Amino acid sequence: DQQVKQNSPSLSVQEGRISILNCDYTNSMFDYFLWYKKYPAEGPTFLISISSIKDKNEDGRFTVFLNKSAKHLSLHIVPSQPGDSAVYFCAASTDNTDKLIFGTGTRLQVFP
């Protein structure tokens, strides 16, 4: 059973607009969440993370929101740029382990 779900396989957004990528999880023990970006033929690159004691974390154009009651997190990219076109993975872990559980990814395309 998929503990971390990204239900949108793809997303297309115009340059300059906001991109919102969503992630749902089922394990209430998860307390650390991360977003990775992946370009073809490269490894995933760490983007931003959030601890369960927070509901928002911001880093430049990237903001992650966490709604623990809904078991939902989202990544906002504002403004979106063509270079943001990539596959985005959310991941989660629990306090007593360093093992990450990944979602299946969302392919973001930012067009001019």
Partner 1 sequence: DAGITQSPRHKVTETGTPVTLRCHQTENHRYMYWYRQDPGHGLRLIHYSYGVKDTDKGEVSDGYSVSRSKTEDFLLTLESATSSQTSVYFCAISGGFGNQPQHFGDGTRLSIL
Question: Which residues are near partner 1 by CB under 8 A?
Answer: 4, 6, 32, 34, 36, 41-46, 49, 51, 89, 91, 98-105
Shortest distance, position 67 Cβ to partner 1, whole Å: 19
**18: helix, strand or coil:** coil
Give the nearer residue to partner 1 in terms of CB position, either 32 or 65: 32
Shortest distance, position 112 Cβ to partner 1, whole Å: 28
Residue 26: phi and psi, rounded to 5, are -110, -20
Shortest distance, position 53 Cβ to partner 1, whole Å: 10
Shortest distance, position 56 Cβ to partner 1, whole Å: 16
**Residue in the structure block whose two tokens are 């990539």:** 86
13 touches 109 (CB < 8 A): yes
Give the nearer residue to partner 1 in terms of CB position, either 9 or 16: 9
**Residue in the structure block whose two tokens are 């985005």:** 88
CA 33/CA 20 separation, integer angstroms: 16
Give the nearer residue to partner 1 in terms of CB position, either 34 or 108: 34
**Residue in the structure block whose two tokens are 């989202």:** 74
